[in-house]
Structure 1
Amino acid sequence: MATSKAVDVRAKDIEKLEEMLARLPKGKNWAGGEELIQYQGFWLPKEMAKGVMLIHGHLKPRPTDVILSTYPKCGTTWLKALAFAIINRSSHHDFQNHPLLTSNPHDLLLPLIERYINSVDIETLPSPRVCPSHLALSLFPNSMAAASSPCRFVYICRNPKDTFVSMWHFMNKLRRLKQVPPLSLEDALDSFSKGVSFCGPYWDHVLGYWKASLESPNNVLFLKYEDLKREPSVYVRKLAEFLDLPFSEEEENEGIVEKIVNLCSFENLSNLYVNKNNNINIKAAGVNTSHFFRKGQVGDWINHLSPEMANAMDQITQEKFRGTGLNFDSFPHYS
């Protein structure tokens, strides 16, 4: 009965939202189809914008809640795999018969919370709730995003040029599924630079979590994709400690950290049957599982962007991040 009442309340809320959403600014959806809506400074599909509003009204944070938050194409699949392996290692300690060998990481965790909450009473879910999200931190209620919040956020960012190139490839794959002509690199870059992209602007998205990680390091763990690629074992340990699940001395001696690193590596996951051969991922809106794995390389942008394109994006990044302490100076550049 409680669940039914909650669904009825959400349905009434959604009815009220439709008219308001219709009045908000619209922008190009790179994947084709329905336009994006600018909501509180960020560009979202309508269903996600409605989800944000429902989160504010219907999600009560718990101390055990973990939000795995990413800007799209910054290592979402990798972070989900690592988090699942770390959190569930006591029950899934056989790495020869691990769920990640037969299930896509997106299928082993909840769908994006901003989509999931539209149809399910999230308060009925048992703890701990590990909730993936693409939302900017400012779109969450203060009860979740403030320093006094009982829940924790894990955020991973990536070089903006690699993020852009990866998103452009991914969205064109979705356009092909919809039989929509591809989006040119030039048009995509123009939109990205203006902040009109799925869950963008990219720079505002990153800065929200970066600043929160400095102010509340116990609430927000901020990771860089490139650091994780360079020293995966170091950051797997850091992630486990942040989740209050540090590796024991016995686990260290058994090489559990390295086993998790190898299990969740791009090379391993991308070559598994479940992540190839046109397998459809239902939780990720019917996307082909192989679409989540392209190259996973650091600096692949140099194979796509002209020096002029790269320099233009670098200028935006420098302007946006100036004085914040966040930089990408160690990432690849044209010589």
Structure 2
Amino acid sequence: MNQNQNQTMDEMCKEVQEEVEKLVKCLPKVTQRGSSFEMIKYQDSWYFITGNLFRNVVTFQKHFVAKHTDIIITSLPKTGSTWLKSLLFAVVNRANHPINQSPLLTCHPQELVYSLETDVYSEAFPYPRPHHLNEVKPPRLLSTHVPYTSLPESIKTSECRLLYICRNPLDTLVSSYYFFQEYMKKFQEKKQDFATKRSLGDTFEDFCNGKSLFGPFFEHVLGYWNMSLERPDKVLFLKYEDLKNDPELHLKRLAEFIGMSFSPKEENEGVIKQIVELCCIKTMKEVNKSGVINKFFEKKSYFRKGEVGDWTNHLTPSMVERMNKLMEAKLEGSGLSFKLLS
């Protein structure tokens, strides 16, 4: 980039920072129960102020320009998006890489499908990692946890495709709790002054009250669910439980949706099954035993159990009853339901 371009980008960064500082002064804020992590409510969703996530989201909203060929994975955290990233990458790149030479055997899925708010528009903005978006060959494989209503207009109005994956709220809650325990430990290791005594009960209360990261949960899910009904050519709605139950069937759906269907020859040669095995949690755990993502998250922290119904080992009957009542109230009349056990 030349000097004029650098100056323009510096001005863009300054503009975003000034806007974020103004928003932080006037928008509602809460501190997570059992921790010192402060969240801010922006466009009816919650984001961490700690760690600059909120700034990253605002930057993404203001400066991302979608291309018609983009394929964007959308989800709440800990709902199967890492698995979906590996599946999507393998499908799109199956002609470029034989299964036994796939980059997924050496790289984390997060390194191959770029998160817009934690990779592209993170602290490295305006020089996104690991490549400038304009240098990425189509189709660009991207991801975001931002709710549908808060997506940049270019995503909504372009012909880019959205793959949304959700997971039943009980397993989402448990998986989120264990993942973010690791997140808070990292801050503690860096000797930053954050409490790390957040219990599963604290997480449950915040979740039920709608004060969860990128949440509220049900509003996030219903936003994409409704758009998948209104624009089935735009949004493919997937459930983690369905993927677990019949991964080959839903991988075929995914391939058809993005315009890269498996040929009869590929099906006969077992390509679909090979991709499923390549992307299974056992393989991903083996590949990602060590190393970090964005110099912060342990790669292995993205792969815990990947089971349907693990919540039965962690939640009390009263918690389950409360969540079931909340789920019934929030999803009533939507046509959406969750399978809680395999």
Shared fold per TM-score greater than 0.5: yes
2:151 and 2:289 map into 1 onto residues whose CA distance is 34
Does structure 2 conserve the Cα–Cα contact (< 8 Å) formed by 1:80 and 1:106? Answer: yes
Deviations 1:8-57 (A, max 9, x none): 22322322331222321112347955411110110012333333333343
Q: Which residue of 2 aligns with 1:276?
A: 289
Q: In structure 2, give the amino acid aligned to 1:281.
A: I
Instruction: Name 2:139's counterpart in structure 1.
Output: 128
Secondary structure of the corresponding residue to residue 46 of structure 2: strand
Rounded Cα–Cα distance in structure 2 between residues aligned with 1:177 and 1:242: 38
Q: Are residues 217 and 320 of structure 1, via their aligned partners in 2, closer, same or farther at CA, if it must alter by over 3 Å?
A: same
Alignment of 1:250 with 2:250, yes or no, is no
Structure 2, gaps ≥5 residues long: 189-194
In the TM superposition, residue 103 of structure 1 has moved relative to its aligned partner by: 1.1
Counterpart Cα distance in 2 of 1:30 and 1:152: 37
Residue 25 of structure 2 corresponds to 22
Any gaps of 5 or more consecutive residues in structure 1? Answer: none
> What does residue range 29-48 of structure 1 map to in structure 2 within 5 Å?
29=32, 32=35, 34-46=37-49, 47-48=52-53
Structure 1 residue aligned with 2:150: 139
Paired with 1:156 and 1:175, the residues of 2 have a C-alpha distance of 25
Residues paired across the two proteins, number = 324
Alpha-carbon offset, residue 3 of structure 1? 4.3
Whether the aligned pair in 1 keeps the contact of 2:252 and 2:261 (CA below 8 Å) is yes
For residues 86-235 of structure 1, the aligned pairs below 5 Å read 86-93=91-98, 95-113=99-117, 116-118=120-122, 119-120=125-126, 124-126=134-136, 127-145=138-156, 148-179=157-188, 180-235=195-250
* 1:115–1:25 CA distance, 2 compared to 1 (3 A): farther
2:332 equivalent to 1:319: no
What's the CA shift for 1:7? 4.3
Residue in structure 1 matched with residue 279 of structure 2 by the alignment: 264
Contact 2:168 2:340 in 1 (8 A): yes
C-alpha distance in structure 2 between counterparts of 1:174 and 1:10, whole Å: 26
**How large is the Cα RMSD of the aligned pairs?**
2.1
Distance change (3 Å), C-alpha of 1:3 and 1:64:
farther
Corresponding position of 1:80:
85
Counterpart AA for 2:27 = L
Superposed CA offset, 1:263-302 (max 9, x none):
0011221123xx114x2122xx610011111110000001
Q: Deviations over 1:101-135 (max 9, x none)?
A: 11111112223346523503666343322211111
Out of 293, 300, 305, the residue aligned to residue 295 of structure 1 is 305
Q: Pick which of 112-121 and 313-322 moved more.
A: 112-121
TM-score by length of 2: 0.88
